Amino acid sequence: MITSSANQHIKEIRHLRDRKCRSETGLSYIEGIRIVFEAIKQKVEILEIIYSPELSKSTTINDIIKQAGLQHIEISEVSKPVFEYLSNKDGPQGIAAVIRQKWIPLENIKTNGDVWVGLYEIADPGNLGTIMRTCDAVQAKGIILIDNCTDPYDPSAVRGSMGGLFSTKLCKTSSEQFNQWVENNKVRVIGTSDQAKVDYRKITYPIGMVLLMGSERQGIPETLQKICKDLVSIPMKGSCDSLNLSVATSILLYEILAKYEENLEK
Amino acid sequence: MITSSANQHIKEIRHLRDRKCRSETGLSYIEGIRIVFEAIKQKVEILEIIYSPELSKSTTINDIIKQAGLQHIEISEVSKPVFEYLSNKDGPQGIAAVIRQKWIPLENIKTNGDVWVGLYEIADPGNLGTIMRTCDAVQAKGIILIDNCTDPYDPSAVRGSMGGLFSTKLCKTSSEQFNQWVENNKVRVIGTSDQAKVDYRKITYPIGMVLLMGSERQGIPETLQKICKDLVSIPMKGSCDSLNLSVATSILLYEILAKYEENLEK
Protein backbone atom coordinates (compact mmCIF):
# COMPACT_ATOMS: atom_id res chain seq x y z
CA MET A 1 0.00 0.00 0.00
CA ILE A 2 1.25 3.50 -0.89
CA THR A 3 1.06 5.69 2.20
CA SER A 4 3.01 8.78 1.19
CA SER A 5 1.81 11.54 -1.11
CA ALA A 6 5.47 12.33 -1.76
CA ASN A 7 5.59 9.08 -3.76
CA GLN A 8 6.71 9.93 -7.30
CA HIS A 9 4.03 7.81 -8.99
CA ILE A 10 1.27 9.46 -6.93
CA LYS A 11 2.62 12.88 -7.86
CA GLU A 12 2.47 11.95 -11.52
CA ILE A 13 -1.16 10.88 -11.22
CA ARG A 14 -2.09 14.10 -9.46
CA HIS A 15 -0.41 15.98 -12.27
CA LEU A 16 -3.17 14.74 -14.58
CA ARG A 17 -5.29 17.55 -13.14
CA ASP A 18 -3.40 19.85 -15.50
CA ARG A 19 -4.61 19.91 -19.05
CA LYS A 20 -1.04 20.23 -20.31
CA CYS A 21 -0.03 17.02 -18.55
CA ARG A 22 -3.13 15.21 -19.82
CA SER A 23 -2.39 16.33 -23.33
CA GLU A 24 1.30 15.35 -23.20
CA THR A 25 0.69 11.91 -21.74
CA GLY A 26 -2.60 11.18 -23.51
CA LEU A 27 -3.91 9.96 -20.15
CA SER A 28 -6.72 10.99 -17.86
CA TYR A 29 -7.66 10.50 -14.20
CA ILE A 30 -11.27 9.52 -13.54
CA GLU A 31 -12.79 9.16 -10.11
CA GLY A 32 -15.84 7.68 -8.44
CA ILE A 33 -17.63 4.34 -8.37
CA ARG A 34 -19.98 5.02 -11.21
CA ILE A 35 -17.52 6.35 -13.74
CA VAL A 36 -14.87 3.68 -13.05
CA PHE A 37 -17.58 1.02 -13.29
CA GLU A 38 -18.70 2.44 -16.66
CA ALA A 39 -15.09 2.53 -17.89
CA ILE A 40 -14.70 -1.18 -17.17
CA LYS A 41 -18.11 -2.03 -18.60
CA GLN A 42 -17.40 -0.12 -21.78
CA LYS A 43 -13.91 -1.61 -22.16
CA VAL A 44 -12.00 1.65 -21.92
CA GLU A 45 -8.21 1.18 -21.83
CA ILE A 46 -7.46 1.39 -18.10
CA LEU A 47 -3.80 1.58 -17.11
CA GLU A 48 -4.34 1.43 -13.40
CA ILE A 49 -6.98 1.41 -10.72
CA ILE A 50 -6.32 3.39 -7.55
CA TYR A 51 -8.17 2.22 -4.54
CA SER A 52 -8.29 3.03 -0.84
CA PRO A 53 -9.70 0.12 1.21
CA GLU A 54 -10.35 2.50 4.10
CA LEU A 55 -12.61 4.75 2.03
CA SER A 56 -14.31 2.06 -0.04
CA LYS A 57 -17.61 1.27 1.58
CA SER A 58 -19.58 -0.03 -1.38
CA THR A 59 -19.92 -3.60 -2.59
CA THR A 60 -19.72 -2.27 -6.14
CA ILE A 61 -16.10 -1.41 -5.44
CA ASN A 62 -15.36 -5.06 -4.65
CA ASP A 63 -16.98 -6.02 -7.94
CA ILE A 64 -14.85 -3.46 -9.76
CA ILE A 65 -11.65 -4.73 -8.14
CA LYS A 66 -12.61 -8.31 -9.03
CA GLN A 67 -13.38 -7.37 -12.64
CA ALA A 68 -10.15 -5.38 -12.91
CA GLY A 69 -8.21 -8.39 -11.62
CA LEU A 70 -9.79 -10.62 -14.27
CA GLN A 71 -8.75 -8.12 -16.94
CA HIS A 72 -5.18 -7.97 -15.54
CA ILE A 73 -5.45 -4.28 -14.77
CA GLU A 74 -2.86 -3.01 -12.30
CA ILE A 75 -4.40 -2.13 -8.94
CA SER A 76 -2.68 0.33 -6.59
CA GLU A 77 -3.80 0.33 -2.99
CA VAL A 78 -3.31 3.67 -1.31
CA SER A 79 -3.99 5.04 2.16
CA LYS A 80 -6.91 7.37 2.86
CA PRO A 81 -4.69 10.51 3.01
CA VAL A 82 -3.04 9.60 -0.31
CA PHE A 83 -6.41 9.07 -1.96
CA GLU A 84 -7.66 12.39 -0.62
CA TYR A 85 -4.52 14.06 -1.98
CA LEU A 86 -5.37 12.70 -5.45
CA SER A 87 -9.10 13.36 -5.22
CA ASN A 88 -11.07 16.15 -6.90
CA LYS A 89 -14.09 15.51 -4.73
CA ASP A 90 -15.51 16.23 -1.32
CA GLY A 91 -16.23 12.90 0.31
CA PRO A 92 -14.24 10.71 -2.13
CA GLN A 93 -15.54 7.17 -2.65
CA GLY A 94 -12.08 5.60 -2.62
CA ILE A 95 -11.86 4.44 -6.21
CA ALA A 96 -10.28 6.03 -9.27
CA ALA A 97 -8.50 5.04 -12.45
CA VAL A 98 -5.94 6.25 -14.93
CA ILE A 99 -7.23 5.73 -18.46
CA ARG A 100 -5.90 6.33 -21.93
CA GLN A 101 -7.64 9.09 -23.91
CA LYS A 102 -9.21 8.05 -27.15
CA TRP A 103 -9.46 10.31 -30.17
CA ILE A 104 -10.34 9.57 -33.74
CA PRO A 105 -9.02 11.45 -36.76
CA LEU A 106 -11.50 13.63 -38.68
CA GLU A 107 -10.86 11.82 -41.96
CA ASN A 108 -12.14 8.58 -40.43
CA ILE A 109 -15.56 10.05 -39.71
CA LYS A 110 -18.38 9.06 -42.01
CA THR A 111 -21.76 10.59 -41.21
CA ASN A 112 -23.88 8.07 -43.12
CA GLY A 113 -27.06 7.75 -41.13
CA ASP A 114 -25.51 9.10 -37.92
CA VAL A 115 -25.75 12.34 -36.00
CA TRP A 116 -22.49 14.01 -34.97
CA VAL A 117 -22.22 17.15 -32.88
CA GLY A 118 -19.74 19.86 -33.88
CA LEU A 119 -18.81 22.26 -31.06
CA TYR A 120 -16.99 25.45 -31.91
CA GLU A 121 -14.83 26.86 -29.08
CA ILE A 122 -16.99 25.55 -26.26
CA ALA A 123 -15.40 26.85 -23.06
CA ASP A 124 -17.21 25.26 -20.12
CA PRO A 125 -16.20 21.67 -19.24
CA GLY A 126 -19.47 21.19 -17.35
CA ASN A 127 -21.41 22.00 -20.53
CA LEU A 128 -19.25 19.60 -22.54
CA GLY A 129 -19.84 16.84 -19.98
CA THR A 130 -23.60 17.38 -20.09
CA ILE A 131 -23.56 17.29 -23.90
CA MET A 132 -21.69 13.94 -23.85
CA ARG A 133 -24.36 12.65 -21.46
CA THR A 134 -27.12 13.67 -23.87
CA CYS A 135 -25.17 12.27 -26.86
CA ASP A 136 -25.19 8.92 -25.08
CA ALA A 137 -28.93 9.21 -24.44
CA VAL A 138 -29.85 9.89 -28.07
CA GLN A 139 -27.01 7.72 -29.38
CA ALA A 140 -25.40 10.51 -31.33
CA LYS A 141 -22.20 9.04 -32.69
CA GLY A 142 -19.66 11.54 -31.48
CA ILE A 143 -18.42 15.07 -30.96
CA ILE A 144 -16.10 17.09 -33.18
CA LEU A 145 -14.33 19.80 -31.17
CA ILE A 146 -13.40 22.73 -33.38
CA ASP A 147 -10.59 25.21 -32.61
CA ASN A 148 -10.02 26.12 -28.95
CA CYS A 149 -12.36 23.95 -26.97
CA THR A 150 -12.30 22.86 -23.36
CA ASP A 151 -11.02 19.35 -22.66
CA PRO A 152 -13.51 16.44 -22.54
CA TYR A 153 -11.05 14.76 -20.14
CA ASP A 154 -11.24 17.69 -17.70
CA PRO A 155 -12.51 16.36 -14.33
CA SER A 156 -15.72 18.47 -14.53
CA ALA A 157 -16.47 17.23 -18.04
CA VAL A 158 -15.82 13.62 -17.04
CA ARG A 159 -18.08 13.98 -14.00
CA GLY A 160 -20.88 15.69 -15.94
CA SER A 161 -20.80 13.07 -18.68
CA MET A 162 -21.87 10.26 -16.31
CA GLY A 163 -20.05 7.79 -18.52
CA GLY A 164 -21.19 9.39 -21.78
CA LEU A 165 -17.49 10.16 -22.30
CA PHE A 166 -16.93 6.49 -23.13
CA SER A 167 -19.81 5.95 -25.53
CA THR A 168 -19.25 9.16 -27.50
CA LYS A 169 -16.47 9.25 -30.08
CA LEU A 170 -14.23 12.30 -29.85
CA CYS A 171 -12.33 14.21 -32.49
CA LYS A 172 -10.55 17.57 -32.47
CA THR A 173 -9.78 19.74 -35.44
CA SER A 174 -9.49 23.31 -36.73
CA SER A 175 -12.17 25.37 -38.52
CA GLU A 176 -10.15 25.15 -41.75
CA GLN A 177 -9.85 21.39 -41.66
CA PHE A 178 -13.49 21.04 -40.66
CA ASN A 179 -14.59 23.21 -43.59
CA GLN A 180 -12.45 21.19 -45.95
CA TRP A 181 -13.78 17.90 -44.63
CA VAL A 182 -17.38 19.09 -44.98
CA GLU A 183 -16.74 20.14 -48.55
CA ASN A 184 -14.84 17.03 -49.61
CA ASN A 185 -17.37 14.66 -48.13
CA LYS A 186 -20.50 16.69 -48.85
CA VAL A 187 -21.39 16.51 -45.18
CA ARG A 188 -24.73 18.06 -44.32
CA VAL A 189 -24.31 20.54 -41.47
CA ILE A 190 -27.20 22.11 -39.57
CA GLY A 191 -26.14 25.10 -37.49
CA THR A 192 -27.86 27.20 -34.87
CA SER A 193 -27.95 30.94 -34.52
CA ASP A 194 -30.03 33.34 -32.41
CA GLN A 195 -30.59 35.35 -35.57
CA ALA A 196 -31.79 32.46 -37.72
CA LYS A 197 -35.37 32.88 -38.88
CA VAL A 198 -36.11 29.16 -39.17
CA ASP A 199 -37.66 27.47 -36.14
CA TYR A 200 -35.78 24.30 -35.18
CA ARG A 201 -39.04 22.34 -35.26
CA LYS A 202 -39.95 23.31 -38.81
CA ILE A 203 -37.15 21.70 -40.80
CA THR A 204 -36.38 18.19 -41.96
CA TYR A 205 -33.10 16.93 -40.58
CA PRO A 206 -30.94 14.99 -43.03
CA ILE A 207 -30.30 11.36 -42.13
CA GLY A 208 -26.55 11.58 -41.53
CA MET A 209 -25.54 15.06 -40.39
CA VAL A 210 -23.50 17.28 -38.12
CA LEU A 211 -25.34 19.50 -35.64
CA LEU A 212 -23.06 22.52 -35.28
CA MET A 213 -23.20 24.59 -32.10
CA GLY A 214 -21.24 27.77 -31.42
CA SER A 215 -19.38 28.91 -28.33
CA GLU A 216 -21.19 30.09 -25.19
CA ARG A 217 -20.18 33.67 -25.90
CA GLN A 218 -20.30 34.17 -29.60
CA GLY A 219 -22.13 31.39 -31.36
CA ILE A 220 -20.96 30.13 -34.75
CA PRO A 221 -18.51 32.39 -36.64
CA GLU A 222 -19.41 33.47 -40.16
CA THR A 223 -16.88 31.18 -41.86
CA LEU A 224 -18.66 28.21 -40.32
CA GLN A 225 -22.19 29.57 -40.83
CA LYS A 226 -21.48 29.60 -44.56
CA ILE A 227 -21.09 25.84 -44.76
CA CYS A 228 -24.39 25.13 -42.98
CA LYS A 229 -27.18 23.68 -45.07
CA ASP A 230 -29.68 25.29 -42.70
CA LEU A 231 -29.41 27.65 -39.76
CA VAL A 232 -32.11 27.20 -37.18
CA SER A 233 -33.02 28.94 -33.94
CA ILE A 234 -34.80 27.91 -30.77
CA PRO A 235 -37.55 30.43 -29.99
CA MET A 236 -36.85 32.66 -26.99
CA LYS A 237 -39.81 34.51 -25.51
CA GLY A 238 -38.28 36.21 -22.49
CA SER A 239 -35.54 38.72 -21.82
CA CYS A 240 -32.55 36.32 -21.88
CA ASP A 241 -31.17 36.16 -25.40
CA SER A 242 -29.89 32.61 -25.30
CA LEU A 243 -30.21 29.27 -23.57
CA ASN A 244 -27.48 27.43 -21.74
CA LEU A 245 -25.36 25.74 -24.43
CA SER A 246 -25.82 22.19 -23.16
CA VAL A 247 -29.57 22.78 -22.90
CA ALA A 248 -29.79 24.15 -26.46
CA THR A 249 -27.71 21.26 -27.84
CA SER A 250 -29.87 18.73 -26.00
CA ILE A 251 -33.15 20.23 -27.19
CA LEU A 252 -31.92 20.03 -30.78
CA LEU A 253 -30.62 16.47 -30.39
CA TYR A 254 -33.97 15.32 -29.03
CA GLU A 255 -35.79 17.10 -31.85
CA ILE A 256 -33.58 15.33 -34.42
CA LEU A 257 -34.17 12.00 -32.67
CA ALA A 258 -37.94 12.56 -32.74
CA LYS A 259 -37.90 13.49 -36.43
CA TYR A 260 -35.79 10.41 -37.28
CA GLU A 261 -38.27 8.22 -35.43
CA GLU A 262 -41.30 9.82 -37.09
CA ASN A 263 -39.66 8.94 -40.37
CA LEU A 264 -39.22 5.32 -39.34
CA GLU A 265 -42.88 5.13 -38.35
CA LYS A 266 -44.02 6.32 -41.78
CA MET B 1 -15.00 55.49 -1.04
CA ILE B 2 -14.71 52.45 1.23
CA THR B 3 -11.12 51.24 1.22
CA SER B 4 -11.05 48.73 4.07
CA SER B 5 -12.45 45.21 4.02
CA ALA B 6 -12.64 45.44 7.80
CA ASN B 7 -15.53 47.89 7.31
CA GLN B 8 -18.57 46.49 9.13
CA HIS B 9 -20.98 47.14 6.23
CA ILE B 10 -18.65 45.36 3.78
CA LYS B 11 -18.43 42.41 6.13
CA GLU B 12 -22.21 42.21 6.25
CA ILE B 13 -22.44 42.14 2.47
CA ARG B 14 -19.81 39.41 2.22
CA HIS B 15 -21.84 37.46 4.74
CA LEU B 16 -24.58 37.10 2.09
CA ARG B 17 -22.46 34.28 0.65
CA ASP B 18 -23.91 32.12 3.41
CA ARG B 19 -27.32 30.71 2.79
CA LYS B 20 -28.22 31.17 6.45
CA CYS B 21 -27.47 34.88 6.27
CA ARG B 22 -29.40 35.24 3.01
CA SER B 23 -32.34 33.50 4.52
CA GLU B 24 -32.33 35.55 7.76
CA THR B 25 -32.02 38.89 6.02
CA GLY B 26 -34.11 38.07 2.94
CA LEU B 27 -31.36 39.71 0.89
CA SER B 28 -29.03 38.54 -1.84
CA TYR B 29 -25.75 39.70 -3.40
CA ILE B 30 -25.62 39.69 -7.19
CA GLU B 31 -22.54 40.48 -9.24
CA GLY B 32 -21.59 41.36 -12.79
CA ILE B 33 -22.65 43.87 -15.42
CA ARG B 34 -25.28 41.77 -17.05
CA ILE B 35 -27.14 40.60 -13.99
CA VAL B 36 -27.15 44.05 -12.31
CA PHE B 37 -28.34 45.57 -15.57
CA GLU B 38 -31.18 43.03 -15.75
CA ALA B 39 -32.10 43.70 -12.12
CA ILE B 40 -32.53 47.40 -12.87
CA LYS B 41 -34.36 46.76 -16.12
CA GLN B 42 -36.75 44.35 -14.47
CA LYS B 43 -37.36 46.67 -11.50
CA VAL B 44 -36.02 44.35 -8.84
CA GLU B 45 -35.87 45.96 -5.37
CA ILE B 46 -32.23 47.01 -5.16
CA LEU B 47 -31.02 48.23 -1.76
CA GLU B 48 -27.56 49.21 -2.85
CA ILE B 49 -25.16 49.16 -5.75
CA ILE B 50 -21.51 48.42 -5.03
CA TYR B 51 -19.10 49.75 -7.54
CA SER B 52 -15.35 49.97 -7.97
CA PRO B 53 -14.36 52.76 -10.40
CA GLU B 54 -10.91 51.19 -10.79
CA LEU B 55 -12.34 47.87 -12.02
CA SER B 56 -15.22 49.25 -14.09
CA LYS B 57 -14.10 49.41 -17.67
CA SER B 58 -17.42 49.17 -19.46
CA THR B 59 -19.68 51.99 -20.60
CA THR B 60 -22.65 49.87 -19.53
CA ILE B 61 -21.51 50.40 -15.94
CA ASN B 62 -21.83 54.17 -16.37
CA ASP B 63 -25.34 53.66 -17.70
CA ILE B 64 -26.17 51.46 -14.72
CA ILE B 65 -24.83 54.04 -12.24
CA LYS B 66 -26.81 56.77 -14.01
CA GLN B 67 -30.03 54.70 -13.97
CA ALA B 68 -29.49 53.80 -10.33
CA GLY B 69 -29.06 57.48 -9.49
CA LEU B 70 -32.35 58.32 -11.22
CA GLN B 71 -34.06 55.62 -9.16
CA HIS B 72 -32.49 56.93 -5.93
CA ILE B 73 -30.66 53.69 -5.27
CA GLU B 74 -27.77 54.01 -2.83
CA ILE B 75 -24.40 53.66 -4.53
CA SER B 76 -21.31 52.57 -2.55
CA GLU B 77 -17.96 53.23 -4.13
CA VAL B 78 -15.32 50.78 -2.99
CA SER B 79 -11.62 50.27 -3.74
CA LYS B 80 -10.43 47.44 -5.98
CA PRO B 81 -9.20 45.29 -3.05
CA VAL B 82 -12.54 45.72 -1.24
CA PHE B 83 -14.47 44.72 -4.36
CA GLU B 84 -12.24 41.69 -4.83
CA TYR B 85 -12.87 40.76 -1.20
CA LEU B 86 -16.63 40.79 -1.87
CA SER B 87 -16.42 39.11 -5.27
CA ASN B 88 -17.29 35.51 -6.15
CA LYS B 89 -15.58 35.77 -9.52
CA ASP B 90 -12.20 35.61 -11.15
CA GLY B 91 -11.69 38.88 -12.98
CA PRO B 92 -14.57 40.80 -11.34
CA GLN B 93 -16.22 43.49 -13.47
CA GLY B 94 -16.48 45.99 -10.62
CA ILE B 95 -20.24 46.12 -10.20
CA ALA B 96 -22.57 44.31 -7.83
CA ALA B 97 -25.81 44.90 -5.96
CA VAL B 98 -27.64 43.90 -2.83
CA ILE B 99 -31.23 43.02 -3.69
CA ARG B 100 -34.28 41.93 -1.76
CA GLN B 101 -35.39 38.33 -2.38
CA LYS B 102 -38.90 37.92 -3.68
CA TRP B 103 -41.07 34.94 -2.83
CA ILE B 104 -44.76 34.37 -3.37
CA PRO B 105 -46.97 32.22 -1.15
CA LEU B 106 -48.28 28.97 -2.63
CA GLU B 107 -51.90 29.91 -2.03
CA ASN B 108 -51.52 32.90 -4.36
CA ILE B 109 -50.58 30.71 -7.31
CA LYS B 110 -53.25 30.14 -9.94
CA THR B 111 -52.21 27.91 -12.83
CA ASN B 112 -54.92 29.06 -15.27
CA GLY B 113 -53.29 28.90 -18.66
CA ASP B 114 -49.75 29.03 -17.28
CA VAL B 115 -46.96 26.53 -16.90
CA TRP B 116 -45.27 26.28 -13.50
CA VAL B 117 -42.32 24.07 -12.70
CA GLY B 118 -42.29 22.09 -9.44
CA LEU B 119 -38.84 20.96 -8.32
CA TYR B 120 -38.56 18.36 -5.60
CA GLU B 121 -35.30 18.52 -3.57
CA ILE B 122 -33.15 19.82 -6.40
CA ALA B 123 -29.61 19.99 -5.00
CA ASP B 124 -27.41 21.69 -7.59
CA PRO B 125 -27.62 25.51 -7.74
CA GLY B 126 -26.17 25.48 -11.28
CA ASN B 127 -29.06 23.29 -12.43
CA LEU B 128 -31.57 25.58 -10.73
CA GLY B 129 -30.01 28.62 -12.41
CA THR B 130 -30.18 26.95 -15.83
CA ILE B 131 -33.82 26.00 -15.24
CA MET B 132 -34.68 29.63 -14.40
CA ARG B 133 -32.95 30.66 -17.64
CA THR B 134 -35.11 28.22 -19.63
CA CYS B 135 -38.26 29.28 -17.72
CA ASP B 136 -37.60 32.81 -18.91
CA ALA B 137 -37.11 31.57 -22.48
CA VAL B 138 -40.42 29.69 -22.64
CA GLN B 139 -42.15 32.16 -20.34
CA ALA B 140 -43.04 29.56 -17.77
CA LYS B 141 -44.62 31.51 -14.94
CA GLY B 142 -42.55 30.33 -12.01
CA ILE B 143 -40.90 27.64 -9.94
CA ILE B 144 -42.27 25.91 -6.84
CA LEU B 145 -39.42 24.54 -4.72
CA ILE B 146 -40.58 21.53 -2.71
CA ASP B 147 -38.93 20.34 0.52
CA ASN B 148 -35.12 20.68 0.78
CA CYS B 149 -34.05 22.48 -2.36
CA THR B 150 -30.94 24.49 -3.10
CA ASP B 151 -31.29 28.28 -2.95
CA PRO B 152 -32.20 30.21 -6.13
CA TYR B 153 -30.30 33.14 -4.60
CA ASP B 154 -27.09 31.09 -4.34
CA PRO B 155 -24.36 32.83 -6.41
CA SER B 156 -24.08 29.87 -8.85
CA ALA B 157 -27.84 29.82 -9.38
CA VAL B 158 -27.96 33.59 -9.90
CA ARG B 159 -25.09 33.40 -12.39
CA GLY B 160 -26.58 30.46 -14.30
CA SER B 161 -29.99 32.13 -14.54
CA MET B 162 -28.64 35.00 -16.69
CA GLY B 163 -31.40 37.22 -15.31
CA GLY B 164 -34.08 34.52 -15.48
CA LEU B 165 -34.13 34.79 -11.67
CA PHE B 166 -35.99 38.08 -12.01
CA SER B 167 -38.61 37.03 -14.55
CA THR B 168 -39.46 33.73 -12.85
CA LYS B 169 -41.73 33.79 -9.81
CA LEU B 170 -40.45 31.75 -6.88
CA CYS B 171 -42.28 29.87 -4.16
CA LYS B 172 -41.14 27.36 -1.56
CA THR B 173 -43.23 24.80 0.20
CA SER B 174 -43.36 21.28 1.66
CA SER B 175 -44.58 18.09 -0.06
CA GLU B 176 -47.60 18.04 2.27
CA GLN B 177 -48.63 21.59 1.51
CA PHE B 178 -48.02 21.06 -2.19
CA ASN B 179 -50.20 17.94 -2.20
CA GLN B 180 -52.94 19.81 -0.36
CA TRP B 181 -52.77 22.76 -2.74
CA VAL B 182 -52.95 20.48 -5.79
CA GLU B 183 -55.98 18.73 -4.36
CA ASN B 184 -57.82 21.87 -3.26
CA ASN B 185 -57.29 23.66 -6.53
CA LYS B 186 -57.55 20.66 -8.85
CA VAL B 187 -54.15 21.55 -10.27
CA ARG B 188 -53.05 19.34 -13.16
CA VAL B 189 -49.58 18.00 -12.49
CA ILE B 190 -47.46 16.20 -15.08
CA GLY B 191 -44.51 14.36 -13.55
CA THR B 192 -41.49 12.64 -15.00
CA SER B 193 -40.02 9.29 -14.14
CA ASP B 194 -37.41 7.05 -15.76
CA GLN B 195 -39.82 4.17 -15.29
CA ALA B 196 -42.84 5.86 -16.89
CA LYS B 197 -44.02 4.07 -20.02
CA VAL B 198 -45.46 7.17 -21.68
CA ASP B 199 -43.19 9.06 -24.07
CA TYR B 200 -43.14 12.80 -23.29
CA ARG B 201 -44.01 13.57 -26.91
CA LYS B 202 -47.13 11.44 -26.98
CA ILE B 203 -49.34 13.22 -24.48
CA THR B 204 -51.47 16.33 -24.54
CA TYR B 205 -50.35 18.85 -21.96
CA PRO B 206 -53.14 20.60 -20.08
CA ILE B 207 -53.36 24.37 -20.60
CA GLY B 208 -52.48 25.46 -17.08
CA MET B 209 -50.30 22.90 -15.32
CA VAL B 210 -47.34 22.13 -13.10
CA LEU B 211 -44.42 20.23 -14.61
CA LEU B 212 -43.03 18.27 -11.68
CA MET B 213 -39.37 17.20 -11.69
CA GLY B 214 -37.63 15.09 -9.07
CA SER B 215 -34.23 15.44 -7.44
CA GLU B 216 -31.00 14.69 -9.32
CA ARG B 217 -30.53 11.54 -7.27
CA GLN B 218 -33.91 10.05 -6.70
CA GLY B 219 -36.53 11.54 -8.94
CA ILE B 220 -40.06 12.12 -7.67
CA PRO B 221 -41.02 10.28 -4.46
CA GLU B 222 -44.09 8.06 -4.48
CA THR B 223 -46.25 10.45 -2.46
CA LEU B 224 -45.81 13.04 -5.19
CA GLN B 225 -46.09 10.57 -8.09
CA LYS B 226 -49.59 9.76 -6.86
CA ILE B 227 -50.90 13.24 -7.49
CA CYS B 228 -49.63 13.36 -11.08
CA LYS B 229 -52.23 13.28 -13.83
CA ASP B 230 -49.62 11.70 -16.11
CA LEU B 231 -46.09 10.43 -15.64
CA VAL B 232 -43.92 10.72 -18.72
CA SER B 233 -40.38 9.76 -19.59
CA ILE B 234 -37.79 11.02 -22.03
CA PRO B 235 -36.44 8.08 -24.08
CA MET B 236 -32.86 7.08 -23.25
CA LYS B 237 -31.07 4.90 -25.76
CA GLY B 238 -27.57 4.64 -24.28
CA SER B 239 -26.01 3.37 -21.09
CA CYS B 240 -26.62 6.44 -18.89
CA ASP B 241 -29.94 6.06 -17.10
CA SER B 242 -30.87 9.71 -16.87
CA LEU B 243 -30.25 13.14 -18.35
CA ASN B 244 -28.90 16.14 -16.53
CA LEU B 245 -31.86 17.59 -14.58
CA SER B 246 -31.76 21.03 -16.18
CA VAL B 247 -31.56 19.43 -19.62
CA ALA B 248 -34.54 17.14 -18.92
CA THR B 249 -36.60 20.03 -17.54
CA SER B 250 -35.76 22.19 -20.54
CA ILE B 251 -36.63 19.49 -23.09
CA LEU B 252 -40.02 19.08 -21.43
CA LEU B 253 -40.66 22.81 -21.22
CA TYR B 254 -39.92 23.22 -24.94
CA GLU B 255 -42.16 20.27 -25.76
CA ILE B 256 -45.00 21.86 -23.77
CA LEU B 257 -44.40 25.19 -25.50
CA ALA B 258 -44.51 23.53 -28.92
CA LYS B 259 -47.73 21.67 -28.08
CA TYR B 260 -49.36 24.87 -26.79
CA GLU B 261 -48.42 26.62 -30.02
CA GLU B 262 -49.68 23.80 -32.23
CA ASN B 263 -52.97 24.22 -30.42
CA LEU B 264 -53.06 27.93 -31.15
CA GLU B 265 -52.38 27.27 -34.82
CA LYS B 266 -55.35 24.92 -35.11
Using CA atoms, how far apart are residues A20 and A160, in angstroms rounded to an integer? 21
Lowest mean pLDDT among B113-117, B217-221, B262-266: B262-266
Q: Cβ B240–A163 below 8 Å, yes or no?
A: yes
φ, ψ (nearest 5 deg) of residue A31: -140, 140
φ, ψ (nearest 5 deg) of residue A60: -60, -35
Q: What local confidence, expressed as pLDDT, does residue B266 receive?
A: 67
- Predicted confidence (pLDDT) per residue in B17-37, tens digit: 999 999 999 999 999 999 999
Using CB atoms, pick whichever of A240, A251, A258 lies closest to residue B136.
A240
Q: Is the pLDDT of residue A244 over 90?
A: yes
Q: Which fold has domain A8-100?
A: 60s Ribosomal Protein L30; Chain: A; (3.30.1330)
Q: Cβ B243–A250 below 8 Å, yes or no?
A: yes
In angstroms, the Cα distances linking A209 to A113, A178, A185, A241, A260 are 8, 13, 11, 26, 12
Give Cα B249 distance to the centre of its chain. 13
Q: What local confidence, expressed as pLDDT, does residue B230 receive?
A: 96
Residues of A with CB under 8 A from a CB of B: 38, 41-42, 126, 130, 133-139, 160, 162-164, 167, 201, 234-240, 242-244, 246-247, 250-251, 254, 257-258
Q: Where are the domains of chain B?
A: 8-100, 106-265
Q: Contact, B206 vs B177, CB < 8 A?
A: no
Q: Cβ A244–B133 below 8 Å, yes or no?
A: yes
Using CA atoms, how far apart are residues B222 and B84, in angstroms rounded to an integer? 46
B3 to chain A, minimum CA–CA distance in Å?
A: 34
B36 to chain A, minimum CA–CA distance in Å?
A: 13
For residue A241, name the pLDDT band (cuts at 50, 70, 90): confident
Q: Is the pLDDT of residue A136 over 70?
A: yes
For residue B264, name the pLDDT band (cuts at 50, 70, 90): confident
Chain B environment of A160 (Cβ under 8 Å)? 244
Q: Cβ B239–A133 below 8 Å, yes or no?
A: no
- Predicted confidence (pLDDT) per residue in A94-130, tens digit: 999 999 999 999 999 999 999 999 999 999 999 999 9
ipTM, two decimals, is 0.94
A145: number of CA atoms within 13 Å, CB side? 23
Domains B8-100 and B106-265 share a fold: no
Q: Tell me the pLDDT of chain B averaged across its residues.
A: 95
Q: What local confidence, expressed as pLDDT, does residue A240 receive?
A: 87
Task: Assign domain B106-265 to its CATH superfamily.
Answer: SPOUT methyltransferase, trefoil knot domain (3.40.1280.10)
Mean pLDDT over residues A19-31, rounded?
Answer: 97
